[in-house]
Amino acid sequence: MLVALFTFFTFAGELSKTGRGTYDSIQAMQFALATAPGMLYQLFPASALIGTMMGLGILANSSELVAMRAAGYSLVSLLRSVMYFGLFLMLCVFMIGEYLAPISQEYAETKRTIAMSGKNALQTDSGLWIRDGLKFVRIDNIDKSGKWSNVRVFELNNNQKIETIITADRASHVTGDKWILDNFEQRRLDDEGVHFEDKDRSVWATALSPEILDVVSIKPEMMSAADALDYVSYLNDNGIDARKYSQAFWSKVVTPIATAVMVLLAIPFIFGPMRTQSAGHRILVGTLTGIGFYLFAQVFSYVGLVFELNPFLAATFPTFIFLAIALLLMRRVQ
């Protein structure tokens, strides 16, 4: 139910982007559906909390938990049984986050990018490829300031043969169609051979703009934990700010743990003040708590990027806070 709700919100948000290139409402719906596994991954901790509260609540309403305690089952034994299921959920969310979600998210982003750009852009393992007339541009990375790194331009003539090859370490947008290329190198090919031109800085004209590339830059949420870690190493080796991707890596690591924490948090709710509450009341409390955790984690991740906090802290702090709350409530129940 949560995934369906948030998928609808995604679709509603995508409707404002229709009309760009060949992107229409049908493709917006396809995009929303393709991002559903990623949404499932992000909402898994909240869903685990609600589901555990509902399951244990049924046992509480029928007095089965009381009978189990009377038969000699300690709270620790019940906790162990529930957390076995929590470990199973951790495995499920890990598999979704490492395999299903990145593939479906990349598929959705690629299809949308091609539609918006008029089939002139493509994200591949070798980098981002964009077509500008007879020019084909490959970019390794686009940082948060909009600068391109490790740029290579292949310019073809009317006979579809490579005429000029340009490489640059970095490209910065100036105004209009003007870009500044740092460590500029140009190789021009003709019948007489290869002509070289090297400059520390050169002006380059192209119809591409930073706004066009907003939809095709590599997004951290599209990556698995392993890919994010590899990309962090690549950015660090090239002297590029990797905080956003490092934070994404730790978020991928902590999400399965957060799922187990949410299962743990459900136990004191059921054995404490909500033991005699109705199922509807439990669902409401579970939904508010789970969505609250989701929003808190999302907001704190942005806070971490804005204030340049440690990526590990920014990604794991909400989970540690809810773990502390769960342990505190467990002590009160015992």
Provide the pLDDT for residue 223: 81
Distant-in-sequence, close-in-space partners of 285: CB < 8 Å, separation ≥ 6:
53, 269, 274
My answer on whether 260 and 306 are in the same domain is yes
pLDDT at 331 over 90: no
Token look-up 């995009």 returns 31
Provide the pLDDT for residue 36: 94
Residue 78 lies in a domain: yes
Amino acid identity of residue 164, one-letter, is: T
pLDDT at 152 over 70: yes
Rg (CA), the chain: 26
Of 176-190, 200-214, 221-235, which range is least confident? 200-214
Provide the pLDDT for residue 220: 76
My answer on whether 329 and 247 are in the same domain is yes
* pLDDT (average), residues 131-141: 83
pLDDT tens, residue by residue, 8-25: 999 999 999 898 878 899
Output the pTM of the full model. Answer: 0.73
- Cross-sheet strand order for the sheet of 127-132: 121-124, 127-132, 135-142, 148-156, 162-175, 178-190, 193-205
In this structure, the number of other CB atoms found within 10 A of the CB of residue 131 comes to: 15
My answer on whether 254 and 298 are in the same domain is yes
Number of domains in the chain: 2
Residue 209 lies in a domain: yes
* pLDDT (average), residues 166-180: 84
Residue 21 lies in a domain: no
Percentage above 70 pLDDT, the chain: 89
The CA distances from residue 253 to 93, 211, 249, in Å, are 10, 32, 6
Tokens of residue 3, six digits: 């995934």
| CA pair distance 267, 333, nearest whole angstrom | 9
My answer on whether 206 and 141 are in the same domain is yes
User: Would you place residue 102 in the very low, low, confident or very high pLDDT band (cuts 50, 70, 90)?
Assistant: confident
pLDDT at 299 over 80: yes
Final residue belonging to a domain, choices 155, 190, 213: 213
pLDDT at 216 over 70: no
User: Would you place residue 300 in the very low, low, confident or very high pLDDT band (cuts 50, 70, 90)?
Assistant: very high
Question: Minimal CA–CA distance to 215: which of 17, 40, 36?
Answer: 17
Give, for 139, the enclosing helix (H) or strand (E). strand 135-142
My answer on whether 190 and 231 are in the same domain is no
My answer on whether 80 and 225 are in the same domain is yes
Final residue belonging to a domain, choices 213, 243, 263: 213
pLDDT tens, residue by residue, 259-298: 999 999 998 888 766 666 777 788 888 889 999 999 999 9
Final residue belonging to a domain, choices 213, 236, 268: 213
My answer on whether 86 and 129 are in the same domain is no
Burial of 192 (0-12, 13-18, 19+ CB in 10 A): exposed
* pLDDT (average), residues 134-154: 79
Residue 13 lies in a domain: no
* pLDDT (average), residues 94-100: 92
Residue 148 lies in a domain: yes
| CA pair distance 269, 328, nearest whole angstrom | 12
pLDDT at 318 over 90: yes
My answer on whether 143 and 204 are in the same domain is yes
Provide the pLDDT for residue 125: 65
My answer on whether 243 and 316 are in the same domain is yes
> In which domain, by residue range, is 275 found?
35-102+219-333
